Structure 1
Amino acid sequence: MAMLNVLKHRDVSRRSLLSGFAAAGITAVLLPRTSSAADVVGVASEEIQPFKVEVSEAALADLRRRLAETRWPDGETVVDRSQGVQPDRLKELVSYWQSSYDWRKAESRLNAFPQFLTNIDGLDIHFVHVRSRHENALPLIMTHGWPGSVFELLDVIGPLTDPTAHGGMADDAFHLVIPSIPGFGFSGKPPATGWNPQRIAAAWDVLMKRLGYDRYVSQGGDWGAIISDALGRQAPDGLLAIHVNRVERATTFPADAAQALKNGEPAPDSLSPDEKVVFDEARDFLNNGFGYAAIMSTRPETVGYGIADSPVGLAAWLYDKIADWVYTRGDPAQALGKDAILDNITLYWLTNTGPSSGRIYWENAMSGAKLTPVKVPVAVTVFPGEVYKPPKHWLSKAYPKLVYYNRVSKGGHFAAWEEPELFSQEIRDAFRSLRS
């Protein structure tokens, strides 16, 4: 269990935070404060409390010890990635993790941005909040996915909040709110069922209103896109539009193509040659790349035992999909760098959120939510390394108010992480028409 000293902040509900972090394997150090009603366990607080990451040396030493004592599996019986992460590649990463990687740099990078906790619907939500210096900046809530974290989005904070320093115009500035999804990072781990994308979306609206943003936009990829879609279906007052860089196949695939996919049949003749490529890619993903989602949608706790106990097991579990989904297929270090990959994996390890993060798949599968059309204006950017790349005309039913659609030349599933400058420009372009 990770041993962490992660908090030094003021105006904190001691009992509720300590009990919450203790359940997550975290030791919290809180600054003195006067007593208040918020000290009573179970009393929800609407306070917004500063947050700082401080991992103990004991936790890092424990990680290095576990890495050194890894029992490795036998080598694969193939020469490609068809059986999963290749041992040679993972051993190289783990060797670097044990001997050279420096978590303190990642910690400093996180702490360079204002971070906060607030309690919403009974759960502590961690978020980064950076206000722009430019007048009339547009409030934007951005949500990461799995197997990612807030680390995915740190490189776009500068370009989006201060565009003039990054080749943009002051009129394109955003105030940024970047929360950690419940069960991820430093957000609380839901103690009971029900934290599905719809509930998270509602919590995000509460968060933005609590911060004083009565008008805002939402953005996401992976689960962030699903949460943004859910928010767009709820269409709370003040939500102007959403942007996604990952489109839901279930809501956009043509009916005859979906039936053929379900039946294991070839692409129907009604599809054009380009559309058949999209069909074949979807079929390949479902046949060869969907196992991670199948197990987390049905038995997340089972895999959780291994990834909670073994940092190498956790690394393999996360690295497998990072490697699958970056634009440089199979080589995430080329797209992201070893340190960036390990920043993300180490965050999962130190917070023991490998198991809890996977439960969002189960929650989504159990929710029974109706995927009705999104009610607000929608902008879509299709990156060439994304798993599913639908043509524009497939989106009309899911996004009847589609106001922006663009296909770019580089970048994968982790668009903001891989191509922060290109991604930032897409966000500026996508929301520009809403500023008038």
Structure 2
Amino acid sequence: MAEQGNTAFSVPQQTASKRAASVSFWHQRRYASWMTADTTLRLAGALTSYAQPLIVFALSRSLELAGTVSTVAMLVTLVCMPFGGTLVDRHDRRRMMMLHAAAGAAIWALAAVLLALGRLNTPMFLVLTFIAVAVKGLMSEASDAMLRELVHGEQYAKARSVNEGRDATLDLLGGPLGGLLYGLGQWVPYVASMVSFIVGGVAAFLTGRPRPQASGSADGQATGRASRRRDRSFFADLAEGFRFVVSHKRLRLLTLLLCVSNFPLLGIQMGGELQLIHVHASPFVIGLLSSCVGGAALVGAALSTMLIGRMPTGAVIITSMVLPTLAMLPLVFVQSLPVLFVCVTLAVLATPMSSASVCGYVFAQTPDEFQGRVSSLVSVVSVSLGALSPAVASVLIERFGFGVLATVLVSLAAVCAVVALCSDGVRSIPKPQRWDEAAL
């Protein structure tokens, strides 16, 4: 069934993609509104994520609880995401973005008011936090799925690279901005988050609906989603999404590569910071490493934008697997601070390249009716192993030293590089202009 869906999708979509590829997405009003909505929604999430452990600690005076809440919140999001992806494929994505914004604004407005009045306690904040992350898990995939409706063909690959650069910028600025706002008052980050959610909701509304002559298939896709709600159960659609992912060989391979490669990429970032803490480096030095990581992500996003249009996507993926292996290798033998900074920075360059190339190809080839489910399932699998990297890094550094951690991370990165180099399913992925020739 999944293969048939892919075939049915390809003919009309190829025509639409060729028409859309001739017009830059920057010149599309709907894309500008979408980008504003997606950016402000992500900014709102970044601000609340920064303030969350600080508020938990301020309310409970328990560092252990603050760390536990962050972990549980991430797990709640991951558990909700597959269900959210199914919701996205069954409902209007623009409306889901607006609902996400409205719910986020209401939740954090309440938190800001209670904090300002001194009425917020730990149990109340935990309830608000877990409701918010559940809403995020259920609705956040609507934004990425909607991008697939707005941008097609080669332009879609470039749009994914732009997103990587945007996300890197938010990661780079989110911490300092959150710290500045928190310094003004515990409630201030939540007011800023509320405003961001409101702006995001308005921008999502302004995205509007497609003009029939520009994308006549979009109305048909929305009608199809409505029909699916009437004719099929929610869990039947969820199971169909799982079957789609596991029944496509190249999709399985790329998802597993993302999963395993994310562990060394996240592990070297967290491990670098933990090593600096372990050797009693100053807060300035630790912050400098974070700035280098953010800057490297920005440069990596710019490189991915340039490379994806000029090199076969398979070659970009292989590069993104080989680069961190070579970059981290010196840390197996030398752990001095200059070497640590250089190696971590070079390794992080690969993160936007792997994400933009793999996700760009996968979601460009995924039928519209599967966008939400495939996006959520790929995200959950790719993040799951990496989520363990902070715990693994801390244990290895404390018990065996940073050299052992570096050896483990280099070994995993090398496995991914070898698999990518030896796999025809990776090597044969062409440039975005010819993605239609390489089925999932």
Name whichever structure is richer in strand by fraction. 1
Q: TM-score, normalised by structure 1?
A: 0.23
Q: TM-score, normalised by structure 2?
A: 0.23
Work out which structure has the larger RCO, using CA pairs closer than 8 Å and 6 or more positions apart in sequence.
2
Name whichever structure is richer in helix by fraction. 2
